[in-house]
Every structure is written in structure tokens, then in C-alpha cells.
């Protein structure tokens, strides 16, 4: 465990361009020891570019980046042993069994976890001896997670870790991540699942168009007014109206009195986390002058722990 009070991850004015494309346009954030920090954002926002720079697989165009006190892309093997990586692509060493892979990779670390305990923790114990290629997509993803934590990392990167998991596997994974936090592991997570971020993250950073739109706890997302209920109805001349109010019951009574009965098409809605998140992205797209786009990305390196990192 890192016992210093310095941030585990320090990012100042991080920029990354691919030709004329500014994938990252000046990011600033810190991740503290023992924290679970989630990066949220639409497709193409820059989450994987950020995480891959912090893992040392890409170099920034400019900016200051320190991860466990080092520049990741110049870091040595001792630094790598302190970091765990679960990238977006799935383990492709599929002629081995999960148990064989874990035993093999455990040998690269000074203080690895017990392979059988890891298999149990990720729910792979019943399939430990099966060749990885015979496993389902969700089971292969668990192999990635197992490889990411076998070295007992101080800092764990999880890039969309539960994509393809069934609901029970996701819950089980969340329990595993919580136990890693209890052990003192610092975790950077990217996810498209707001409930995952809500369940796991101490703080989130919302990224869009290569910029950090907001950073804070999920409760703080969108500012203090974002969760204010919205009363909607159709008024006497047929126009659709809506009003944000902390006293929706009072407004509904006023409306009922003014309209002499039930307000037509009345609804009272308390914005959900998803509403708030989508509003944030919409506001960003409006100020950026374009909406968030879905991009294909080429040339991303394989980043699962079993191949590129070790």
C-alpha cells in the first residue's frame, strides 16, 4: 500500500492529439490513495486515451502526469509490478486454462495473490481448469480481471471491466472491487454504467470531447439544483409547461386551484442520475458547438494484463 499523502495519480493540463484531432484537450485531476475514481463519458470522449497514458501505453502530446511518482511511459519493471491493468480487449492467450495463466503470471510479481483465491474471488473456480477459449465472453472477461489483480497491485486500472457480465457477475465483481478497496488498492475505473459508478466510485470525472466537464462525488454531479423536482403540465391555452421547484406539492395545489381541477398531463419528476448526466453532456455539447460523436478508434494496443503489460 502507498503510505504517502501524495496523490497516486496526478494529471495537469494533459493533452493528446492524433494529427489534427485533439483527443484530450487539457485534463486536470488527482486520484488519492485508496480512492475509487470513475471516469464517465460518451463513446470517443477520451477515457481510454487517458487511462492508456496513465498505464504507460501511450505518450501524451503535452502535460504533467505522475503515476505512483513516475512518468508511466518511462517507468521500470518495479513500477509495473505495482500496477494492475484490465484493458478493454479480452485475454487472447486462450489455449491455456485460467489457473495455468494465473500461476504463470503470479511468478512475475514479488508478492502475488494466491491464484486459487483469485479464481474463487472472480467466480471462475468451477472453470479454473478449462481452456480460456472454451469460456463464454463474460467468463473470459473475468480472466482479464483475475490477471489484473494477481500481482496485488497498489493501483488498478479497470477499463469498462463489466461489459458482457450478467447481472449476478456484475454484483459479484462489485463485491470484489469493494474488497480490493478495503485492502487499500487505489482504483481508476471507466464505465458506461451509471449504477456501477454510483455503487463503487468515491468520486467521478465526467469527460466529453477530451475535456473534464465535471469532477466530484456523484451526489454533487450537476450542482445543488440538479436534483430539484420538475412539475410539468399542459396549461389552459394548450402549451406544455414545466417548472423546477423544491415544493412540488404546493405548486400542484396552486395549479389545481387556478385550473379549477386536475391539471392536464400533470407529472412530478425528480431527475435521476441518468437525467443529470445526460443534461451535463447536452450542456457541454451546446457550449462546444457540436454534439458528442461516436467514434471508431483504430490502433489501440492490446492492454490486457496477460499480454502487453508484462
One of 2, 48, 185, 304 touching ligand ATP (CB under 6 A):
48
One of 2, 33, 35, 49 touching ligand ATP (CB under 6 A):
49
139 vs 191 by CB, closer to ligand ATP: 191
Grid look-up 490513495 returns 33
26 vs 248 by CB, closer to ligand ATP: 26
297 lies in the binding site for ligand ATP (CB under 6 A): yes
* Interacting residues with ligand ATP between 16 and 35 (CB under 6 A): 18, 21, 23
For CA atoms 154, 12, 291, 277, the dihedral sign is: positive
Find the helix or strand (DSSP H, E) in which 274 lies.
helix 273-288
96 vs 193 by CB, closer to ligand ATP: 193
35 vs 160 by CB, closer to ligand ATP: 160
* Contact region with ligand ATP (CB under 6 A), list: 72-80, 132-140, 177-185, 295-303: 295-303
41 lies in the binding site for ligand ATP (CB under 6 A): yes
* Contact region with ligand ATP (CB under 6 A), list: 15-23, 77-85, 250-258, 273-281: 15-23
Asked if residues 218 and 198 have their Cβ atoms less than 8 Å apart, the reply is yes
Asked if residues 38 and 190 have their Cβ atoms less than 8 Å apart, the reply is yes
Q: Output the smallest distance, CB 161 to ligand ATP, in A.
A: 13
Q: Output the smallest distance, CB 88 to ligand ATP, in A.
A: 7
* Interacting residues with ligand ATP between 204 and 243 (CB under 6 A): none
Q: Is 99 helix (H, G, I), strand (E, B) or coil?
A: helix
47 lies in the binding site for ligand ATP (CB under 6 A): yes
CA distances to 2, 46, 211, 231, 259 from 15, in Å: 27, 10, 9, 42, 56
**Count of beta carbons in the 10 Å neighbourhood of residue 15:** 15
Asked if residues 8 and 67 have their Cβ atoms less than 8 Å apart, the reply is yes
35 vs 159 by CB, closer to ligand ATP: 159
**DSSP letter string, 102-127:** HHHHHTTSSSPPPHHHHHHHTT-GGG
Pairwise CA distance, residues 275 & 214, whole Å: 15
One of 117, 178, 220, 295 touching ligand ATP (CB under 6 A):
295
Binding site for ligand ATP (CB under 6 A): 18, 21, 23, 41, 43-49, 295, 297-300
Amino acid at each position: 500500500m502507498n503510505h504517502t499523502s501524495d496523490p497516486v495519480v496526478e494529471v495537469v493540463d494533459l493533452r493528446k492529439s492524433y494529427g489534427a484531432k485533439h483527443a484530450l484537450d487539457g485534463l486536470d485531476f488527482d486520484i488519492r490513495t485508496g480512492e475509487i475514481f470513475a471516469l464517465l463519458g460518451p463513446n470517443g470522449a477520451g477515457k481510454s486515451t487517458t487511462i492508456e497514458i496513465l498505464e504507460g501505453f501511450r505518450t501524451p502530446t503535452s502535460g504533467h502526469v505522475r503515476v505512483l511518482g513516475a512518468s508511466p511511459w518511462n517507468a521500470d519493471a518495479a513500477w509495473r509490478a505495482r500496477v494492475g491493468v484490465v484493458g478493454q480487449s479480452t485475454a487472447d492467450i486462450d489455449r491455456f486454462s485460467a489457473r495455468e495463466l494465473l500461476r504463470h503470471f503470479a511468478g512475475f510479481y514479488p508478492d502475488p495473490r494466491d491464484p486459487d483465491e483469485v479464481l474463487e474471488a472472480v467466480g471462475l473456480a468451477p472453470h479454473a481448469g478449462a481452456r480460456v477459449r472454451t469460456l463464454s465472453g463474460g467468463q473470459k472477461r473475468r480472466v482479464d480481471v483475475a490477471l489484473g489483480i494477481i500481482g496485488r497491485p497498489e493501483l488498478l486500472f479497470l477499463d469498462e471491466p463489466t461489459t458482457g457480465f450478467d447481472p449476478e457477475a456484475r454484483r459479484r465483481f462489485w463485491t470484489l472491487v469493494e474488497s480490493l478497496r478495503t485492502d487499500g488498492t487505489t482504483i481508476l475505473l471507466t464505465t458506461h454504467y451509471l449504477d456501477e459508478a454510483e455503487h463503487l466510485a468515491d468520486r467521478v470525472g465526467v469527460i466529453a470531447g477530451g475535456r473534464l466537464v465535471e469532477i466530484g462525488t456523484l451526489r454533487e454531479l450537476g450542482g445543488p439544483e440538479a436534483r430539484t423536482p420538475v412539475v410539468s403540465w399542459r396549461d389552459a391555452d394548450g402549451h406544455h409547461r414545466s417548472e423546477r421547484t423544491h415544493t412540488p406539492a404546493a405548486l400542484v395545489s396552486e395549479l389545481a386551484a387556478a385550473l379549477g381541477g386536475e391539471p392536464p398531463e400533470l407529472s412530478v419528476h425528480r431527475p435521476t442520475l441518468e437525467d443529470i448526466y445526460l443534461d451535463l453532456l447536452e450542456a457541454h455539447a451546446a457550449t462546444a458547438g457540436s454534439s458528442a460523436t461516436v467514434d471508431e478508434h483504430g490502433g489501440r494496443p492490446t492492454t490486457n494484463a496477460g499480454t502487453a503489460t508484462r
